[in-house]
C-alpha cells in the first residue's frame, strides 16, 4: 500500500478547484491510455464541492464523458431521488450537466428499489455489479478504479466505514450494509476497505477546522478500525488533499508549505 502524500491548500475553495483540475487530468490521461476511466465518487460537502468545481472548470470537457464509469464509495439507504442521497447531490452538482453514458453511472440501490428495505441484499447486488465490471486483468472482485475519492469525517470515518463498527472490520466482502451509522441516516451501503484498496489512487478530501483532529489521528499511525481513514490507501498512490485549517494539527514535517 502506498504511503500517504499530502497537499495543503490555502482554503477549501482552492482545494476543491485544485482537486477538480487534478481529476480532469487523471481522467483524460486514463482515457488516452486505456480508452476509458473509472472513478469512485464520495458524498459530503467536500466531495460535492469538488464536483461543483469540476462543473465550473474551463477544461472540464476535455473529459470524454461518454467513456467515464462512475461508482460510489457509499450511499445513504433512502428512497430514489431523496435529496440526502449522495447520487442526488452528485447529479445536482455535476452529473446532470454533462453527457455521461447512463449505463456507466453505477448508483447504489435505493431503499425503494428492487431490494426494498433489505440493505444487505442491496449491498450484495452492488458487489455483483462491481464483480461483473472487474475484467480478468483485475483478478479481483472490483474494477481497478483510476481514482477513488473519499471525504473524511470528523471521527475519521471514510465512506460509511465508522470507527469500531462491523463494516470497517470486513476483510472479504467488497460491499456491505451499515446499520446504526453515527452520521445520519443510520442505514447505508458502503464499499469496504478491501474494495477501497483495489483503487490505483485513493484521494482523501479534508477541509475545515472540524477535520483537523481526524487528519492528525489518521496520519499519526492509528489503526484502521479506530481510524478508518488510516486504512484508505491506493495501490500506487494515497493522496490527502487538505486546506490549511484541516492541516492545522499536523506536524509541519508531514507536508511542504501550503500553496500560496
Cell 465550473 sits on residue? 56
Strands, sheet with 4-9, edge to edge from the N-terminal-most edge strand: 4-9, 237-243, 201-206, 147-151, 37-41, 68-72
Give the shortest CB-151-to-ligand 6PG separation in angstroms.
2
Give the shortest CB-124-to-ligand 6PG separation in angstroms.
20
Q: Which of 31, 44 has the CB closer to ligand 6PG? A: 44
Among 151, 163, 228, 244, binds ligand 6PG (CB under 6 A): 151
Applying CB under 6 A, the span of 16-24, 25-33, 63-71, 152-160 interacting with ligand 6PG comes to 152-160
CB of 27 within 8 A of CB of 146?
Answer: yes
**Alpha helices in the chain, H assignment, sequence order:** 12-34, 44-56, 86-93, 119-133, 166-169, 193-196, 212-218
CB of 75 within 8 A of CB of 86?
Answer: yes
Q: Is 143 in the site for ligand 6PG (CB under 6 A)?
A: no
Q: Is 85 in the site for ligand 6PG (CB under 6 A)?
A: no
Q: Is 86 in the site for ligand 6PG (CB under 6 A)?
A: yes
List all residues 6 or more positions away from 14 whose beta carbon is below 8 Å from its beta carbon. Answer: 243, 259
Give the shortest CB-158-to-ligand 6PG separation in angstroms.
6
Q: Is 224 in the site for ligand 6PG (CB under 6 A)?
A: no
Among 17, 38, 42, 187, binds ligand 6PG (CB under 6 A): 42
Q: Which of 31, 94 has the CB closer to ligand 6PG? A: 94
Give the shortest CB-101-to-ligand 6PG separation in angstroms.
24
Residue closest to 179 by CA, chosen among 42, 77, 71, 44: 77
Residue closest to 70 by CA, chosen among 43, 49, 33: 43
Q: Which of 115, 203 has the CB closer to ligand 6PG? A: 203
Q: Is 244 in the site for ligand 6PG (CB under 6 A)?
A: no
For 37, phi then psi, to 5°, come to -135, 155
Q: CB atoms < 10 A from the CB of 165, how many?
A: 19
Q: Is 177 in the site for ligand 6PG (CB under 6 A)?
A: no
Residues near ligand 6PG, by CB under 6 A: 42-47, 74, 76, 86, 151-153, 157-159, 183
Amino acid at each position: 500500500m502506498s504511503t500517504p502524500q499530502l497537499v495543503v491548500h490555502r482554503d477549501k475553495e482552492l482545494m476543491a478547484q485544485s482537486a477538480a483540475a487534478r481529476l480532469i487530468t487523471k481522467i483524460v490521461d486514463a482515457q488516452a491510455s486505456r480508452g476509458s476511466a473509472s472513478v469512485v465518487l464520495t458524498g459530503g460537502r467536500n466531495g460535492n464541492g469538488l464536483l461543483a468545481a469540476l462543473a465550473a472548470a474551463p477544461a472540464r470537457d476535455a473529459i470524454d464523458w461518454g467513456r467515464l464509469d462512475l461508482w460510489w464509495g457509499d450511499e445513504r439507504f433512502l428512497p430514489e431521488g431523496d435529496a440526502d442521497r449522495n447520487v442526488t447531490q452528485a447529479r445536482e452538482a455535476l452529473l446532470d450537466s454533462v453527457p455521461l453514458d447512463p449505463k456507466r453511472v453505477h448508483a447504489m440501490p435505493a431503499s425503494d428499489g428492487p431490494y426494498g428495505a433489505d440493505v444487505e441484499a442491496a449491498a450484495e447486488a452492488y458487489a455483483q455489479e462491481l464483480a461483473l465490471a472487474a475484467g480478468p486483468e483485475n483478478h479481483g472482485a472490483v474494477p481497478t478504479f483510476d481514482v477513488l475519492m473519499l471525504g473524511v469525517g470528523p471521527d475519521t470515518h471514510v465512506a460509511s466505514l465508522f470507527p469500531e463498527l462491523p463494516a470497517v472490520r470486513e476483510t472479504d466482502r467488497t460491499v456491505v450494509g451499515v446499520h446504526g451509522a453515527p452520521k445520519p441516516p443510520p442505514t447505508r451501503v458502503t464499499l469496504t476497505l478491501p474494495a477501497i484498496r483495489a483503487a490505483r489512487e485513493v484521494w482523501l478530501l479534508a477541509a475545515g477546522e472540524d477535520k483537523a483532529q481526524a487528519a492528525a489521528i489518521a496520519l499519526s499511525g492509528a489503526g484502521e478500525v479506530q481510524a478508518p481513514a488510516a486504512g484508505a490507501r491506493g495501490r500506487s498512490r494515497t493522496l490527502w488533499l487538505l486546506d490549511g485549517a484541516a492541516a492545522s494539527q499536523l506536524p509541519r514535517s508531514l507536508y511542504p508549505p501550503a500553496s500560496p
